[in-house]
A and B are shown apart, each in its own frame.
Chain A
Amino acid sequence: MLDNLLILVQAPTITVDLVLNGILVGAIFALAAYGMALVWGVMNIINIAQGEFVMLGGYVAVIMSAHGVHPLLAVPVAAVLLFGLGWLLYRTVIFRIVERDLFTSILATFGISIVLQQLMNTVFGGDVQVAQAHLGTLLLMGGMVTLAQIKLLSFALAAVLAVVLVLFLRRSRLGQAIRATAQNARAARVLGIDTDRVYAATFGLNAALCGACGALVAMAYTVHPYIGLPYTIRSFMIVIVAGLGNLAGVIAAGLSLGAAENVAGFVLGTQYQLAFVFLLLVVVLVWRNWRLARKRQYLK
């Protein structure tokens, strides 16, 4: 651990490399997290299958690239397919639990996540899959900082998607209906908004976002059936830190998480990278709770 820190001190360019690469992957985290915030805020559902949607998007890219289609095309295709899946899941399962407590939604979506994971594992096997985008790598600072073009591209795409999403929610009728439902579902219903349709669209939209993320993950990293849970946990953590309905916060938290995770993996060793993510979650939650407790004390 100490010698790793020493490397960082001796070669500051490495630090730059770690942080930049972390920020690039952080954009993907932020996108998935925004989807989670949307579903949580609008439908009051915590979707544990978030990471599995990412994984499915990844497999769309893998399959397409295996059939000779350029995997970049998989980004929109995965989004459309996953939107369909999200819609379907809402119509079959989720609509039954929308009005129930959060724990029910956690457990039910946990079940869905297991089904999706195992389904992919049974169909495609448990091994890593990749989609080759055949893009080069950008070398900076005498080759010490390497940024794969696909990561840069996925960062840009994530940014574009975020902008499109915001415009959609602000400008379109459906987007406005979604926001109205988030604020007060009953009032929205009174005003003639078909909240059931809004919920279905929201859940589909979230799945579509995750699907797009997944296609990017398959090109920049690797996918296998079990990559889901860490993405779910990261999304959850980002939403807690940023708060619901705070896009700027989600982006900031997502990018920082990416950077922090990458540096932690370097310093602590790759094998502790996941443990770091999960322990960070616990720390964030305890910290949040402590802050709330102090606030309550204050009020008393």
Chain B
Amino acid sequence: MLHHRTLALAAVAALGLTTAPVFAQAGDTITLGAAVSLTGKYSTNGGHTQKGYDLAVKKINDAGGVKVGGKTYKIEVRYYDDESTPARGAELAERLIQQDGIKFLLGPYSSGMTKAIAPVTEQHKVPMVEANGASRSLFTNNYKYLFAILSTSEKYLASAVTLAAENAEALGKKPSEMKVALAFENDNFSQDVRAGVLEDLKKNNMKVVIDDELPRDLNDMSATLTKVKALKPDMLVVSGHSKGAATAIRQLDQMQIHVPILAMTHCDAAGIIKKFGKAASYTLCGTQWAPSLTYSDKLFGTAADFAKEFDKAYGYEPPYQAAESAAAVEVYANAFERAGSLDPQKVRDALASTDMMTFYGAIKFDDTGKNIAKPMALYQVLDGKYEVVAPSKFAQTKAVVPAPTD
């Protein structure tokens, strides 16, 4: 009998948990909810995301808050840690909505996590503005409550391929004679980038000689790079979040492999210039945003102003992940004011008709919820700095392609 009593006690204790505080729209604050990766493999980028949110929230509150229907509200964010696991993310989204009574969600970091959360927000009809889920598969499910302010991932390195094709002559080749090596992690985002790159390669008739996958807990990709050494491709494309970028640069340098064109994602998030100095030179990097772009808004000023402010607050130059996250909060603030109400349905409709300019770029959603107003940019590492080389409208300098041998 004692067993039953113990169990009953434990069950009571379990349900006792229900006394967790409820974070609804109490008083004069609007609470946004976010499950971000504070621990686990994405914790660095999760951190950038959180800091982006926090900076924007602070800035908006310092500027007086948000005016909704004649009343002024402060904004705050309720965070949970999804531990970089999608299943946990979905669970926490449910918890934010059901237990904490939160009516507006900010996105998590990475496409996988966003993909896991989107069905939950959809079921509960709670809008989510996300800034870090770029996988295009997010926008084919006819989601009505998902809004992404970033360009989709198949566009990440498309301009790098175009750039390579344009400069084929400098290598003494026709584009169709160019050999390309691909090394992509096997996750949503990277595989989408790969799909985009493959499409562009096909357009230019380039030949893929290596098509490797990278493991998720990567710390050695020398097997792939040995193949690069043997087959001498003209272009190497790498995408595996920050890990892939750092490992590739380190080992290319260590193995003394010269690739005429090296393109990758997450250069700035991985801090390759700071970590590897000269070894990172001439790398092409796809980016959502750069401090040198000429966008601006009232809240932060120009892109460069945002970078300065972020640096002051957190002690490092903001990677684009932080910038887009900050912009997501701005989008919400803008939608609240236009909706004139805190009804999730009305806010959703306001979000859908967003058409605004931010320091991060223009934001306007299409029917599927993705931002169609902002192009991707391409950096190149030149003299220890990231210089925008594409699109030509924002280019600070001409790309150096192919990379000189030394």
- Whether A and B touch directly in their complex, counting CB atoms under 8 A apart, is answered as yes
| Chain A CB within 8 A of B41 CB | yes
**A132 with B223: CB separation less than 8 A:** no
In A234-279, the 8 Å CB interface with B consists of 262, 265-266, 269-274
Q: Which residues of B contact A93 (CB under 8 A)?
A: none
Given contacts A130-B275, A270-B215, contact A125 B255 (CB under 8 A): no
Are A143 and B44 neighbours in the complex by a CB distance under 8 Å?
no
Interface residue tally of chain B, by bracket? Answer: 35 or more
In the assembled complex, how far is the CB of residue A62 from the closest CB belonging to chain B, in whole angstroms? Answer: 10
Contact B256 A137 (CB under 8 A): yes
Whole-angstrom CA separation of A12 from B256 in the bound complex: 19
Residues 66-114 of B at the A interface (beta carbon under 8 Å): 84
Q: How far is the CA of A232 from the CA of B293 in the complex (A)?
A: 47
Docked Cα-Cα span, A137 to B229, in Å, equals 14
Q: Are A274 and B215 in contact (CB under 8 A)?
A: yes
Which residues in A have their C-beta under 8 angstroms from that of B277?
A: 132
- Tell me whether A137 and B254 are in contact in the complex, defined as CB-CB below 8 angstroms, given that A4-B227, A270-B213, A270-B214 are known contacts: yes
Contact B255 A269 (CB under 8 A): no
Query: Contact: B44 with A14, CB < 8 Å?
Result: no
| Residue among A14, A128, A224, A272 facing the most chain B CB atoms (10 A cut-off) | A128
Measured CB to CB, the closest approach of chain A to B399, in angstroms, equals 27
**B214–A224 touching, CB < 8 Å:** no
Name A263's closest neighbour in chain B (CB-CB): B223
**Which residues of chain A are near B44, meaning CB under 8 Å?**
125-127
Task: Answer whether A7 and B230 are a contact pair too, CB < 8 Å, given A127-B44, A128-B247, A130-B275.
Answer: yes
Q: Tell me, in angstroms, the Cα distance from A175 to B247 when the chains sit together.
A: 40
| B-chain residues with CB within 8 Å of residue A269 when the two chains form the complex | 212-213, 223
Q: Say which residue of A14, A118, A272 sits within 8 Å of B229 (CB atoms).
A: A14
Within 8 A of A (CB), among B186-221: 186, 212-215, 217-221
Q: Which of A128, A132, A144, A151 contacts B219 (CB 8 A)?
A: A128
Cβ contacts B38-50/A at 8 Å (1 or 0 each)? 1111111101000
A292 to B43 Cα, complex, angstroms: 46
B223 touches A266 (CB 8 A): yes
User: Contact check: which of A126, A132, A222, A271 meets B247 at CB < 8 Å?
Assistant: A222
Residue-wise interface mask of A (147-175) relative to B, using a CB-CB cutoff of 8 A (1 in contact, 0 not): 01011000000000000000000000000
- CA–CA, A21 and B222, complex, Å: 9
User: Would you call B217 and A222 a contact (CB within 8 A)?
Assistant: no
Is the CB–CB distance between A271 and B219 below 8 Å? no
Q: How large is the interface on A (under 10, 10 to 19, 20 to 34, 35 or more residues)?
A: 35 or more
- B219 and A270: CB pair below 8 A? no
Beta-carbon nearest neighbor of A272 in chain B: B215
A121 at the B interface (CB under 8 A): yes
Contact of A270 with B212 at beta-carbon distance under 8 Å, contacts A125-B43, A126-B41 already known: yes
B250: CB under 8 A from chain A? Answer: yes
Contact check: which of B212, B222, B256 meets A139 at CB < 8 Å?
A: B256
**CB proximity of A124 to chain B, nearest CB, Å:** 9
With an 8 A cutoff between CB atoms, is B243 at the interface? yes
Report whether B230 and A14 are in contact in the complex, using a CB–CB cutoff of 8 Å.
yes
Collect the chain A residues with CB atoms within 8 Å of residue B246's CB. Answer: 127-128, 130, 222
Q: List 19 other contacts, CB 8 Å, given A4-B227, A127-B242, A273-B215.
A: A121-B40, A122-B38, A125-B44, A126-B42, A126-B84, A127-B45, A128-B218, A128-B270, A132-B276, A146-B257, A222-B220, A227-B219, A266-B223, A270-B183, A270-B214, A270-B215, A271-B212, A271-B215, A272-B215
Residues of chain B touching chain A, judged by Cβ–Cβ distance below 8 Å, are 37-45, 47, 84, 183, 186, 212-215, 217-224, 226-227, 229-231, 242-243, 246-247, 250, 254-257, 270, 275-277
List the 10 closest A-B pairs by CB distance, nearest first.
A265-B223, A126-B43, A127-B44, A271-B213, A148-B254, A125-B44, A266-B223, A128-B246, A146-B255, A222-B219
